[in-house]
Amino acid sequence: MLSGLYLITDNNKDGKLLDKVSAALTGGVKILQYRAKDIRPDERRQMAGQLRELCRQHNALFIVNDLPELAREVDADGVHLGQDDMPAVQARQIIGRNKLIGISSHNVDEALKAEAQGADYVAIGSIFQTASKDDTSVVGLKTLAKVRKAVRVPLVAIGGITPAGAYEALQTGADSVAIISGIMADLDPARAAKEYSLLFNRQRPFPNGKVLTIAGSDSGGGAGIQADIKTITLLGSYASSVLTALTAQNTLGVTDTYPVHTDFVMKQLDTVLDDIGADTVKTGMLSWGGIVSRVAKTIEDRSLLAVVDPVMVAKGGQSLLDKEANDSLISRLLPQTYLLTPNLPEVGELTGFEPETLEQMVEAGRHLQELGARNVLIKGGHLATAATDLLLLGEEVVELNGERYETHNTHGTGCTLSAAIATFLAQGYPLKLAVERAKYFISLAIRDSFQIGQGHGPVNHFSAAMQFLHEQPAMD
């Protein structure tokens, strides 16, 4: 059964094809299609051999585009043919009985014909508009759905597919999605591939997705690693954890903090990742600069998808990061951040000014992206007006409005929100949808928050999860 993330190579104008493909395979590519017609045969043969070896190292399938003779020479796993290429029967005679043949199609009739000719899979597209094709070549999701009903072989959706589009294609019935520029043109192919590859987790049974939280302990149980594990577990994923600090705190505030030695933090981190692994990582309180830098290095080396909650100030006003940690967060961790989730005071700490309007939030978010964060969610709970969050999703700006609840029992909101986002990403939701679901979840948790202790009580993880999971079939 052919399934998983399918990568098609670009024209290698920058000469970095092997490096980009290696990174993308690390990020989760399962099928690689080598497309190269306009280079010398000897160079093409050498590159194909090197790519085939990379695929073997990562247990990925290697497919050659259009050239069954080359596929046979390098012992590729198969060949992909277009409508104007040689018949599948002829290609089968060249590559052998046990190899894969894929055929591009644009409608139900072509897909049925490809299946009848012996295609092992059918590529259908262009699903969305692409920069290289005009409007007439777009077949859309409706055609994908029709083809899915008509043929029994696996389907690969191709053409203009963003992560959000890939999610739609998979929901419509595709077994795989083929990406070119979405990975090959990205400055970080490994992380781009990881973002796409996580989408295939949607079909897995619960607990669905593995989420690693790297954070401090809240002895009061409302925030920190305790809130993260509650959130991840109640929403249906598997939680692992790395403790960075112990705090003596309750609803009235933090009375003392005991940092965990950096070497032991890293021992925890490496031990978990070497065995269990993680689909996503959520960071919270990182205590001091040495921990921040070494955690950032691990995220970089292992191409992890990190949701970073820059825990800088406690609810009672106590500083939770020293200056060295602040500097390391900006210089080392932000460039490795998939999603940064600061509140307005944290934005002020990171950028030097605290936004007071939505326009200023956008300006600050762009600055944080310039510092390295791939995407930014600025939480607007401290605004004097509506509780509006802004998601800067690459170049796109998404406004997320929510109801403001009159309660001072909001301990753990930031930890819970970021943990929920990391959970939904690990479960196979694209970022915008993961953030929307997480915002709804935290809204329920705030609405049902309860008083315990004498200060700021916690949000209600259990009540929110029970209602959210009850509503989930309708939401999906």
Active site residues: 379, 410, 412-415
Beta carbons within 10 angstroms of residue 62's beta carbon: 23
Is the distance from CB of 459 to CB of 445 less than 8 angstroms? yes
Is the distance from CB of 194 to CB of 201 less than 8 angstroms? no
Structure tokens at 69: 């003779």
CA atoms of 26 and 303, how far apart (whole Å): 8
Looking up tokens 């409302």 gives 222
Q: 421 φ, ψ to 5°?
A: -60, -45
How distant, in Å, are the alpha carbons of 47, 62, 259 from that of 56? 14, 8, 43
Is the distance from CB of 415 to CB of 423 less than 8 angstroms? no
Is the distance from CB of 296 to CB of 336 less than 8 angstroms? yes
Q: 256 φ, ψ to 5°?
A: -165, 155
Q: 140 φ, ψ to 5°?
A: 80, 170
CA atoms of 383 and 357, how far apart (whole Å): 8
- DSSP string covering 423-450: HHHHTT--HHHHHHHHHHHHHHHHHT--
Task: Tell me the HSE value of 77 on the side-chain side, using a 13 A CA sphere.
Answer: 20
CA atoms of 344 and 408, how far apart (whole Å): 18
CA atoms of 35 and 273, how far apart (whole Å): 34
What is the C-alpha end-to-end distance of the chain, expressed in Å?
Answer: 25
Give the orientation angle of helix 413-426 with respect to helix 431-447, to 10 degrees.
Answer: 140
Structure tokens at 281: 């990582």
Structure tokens at 96: 């052998």
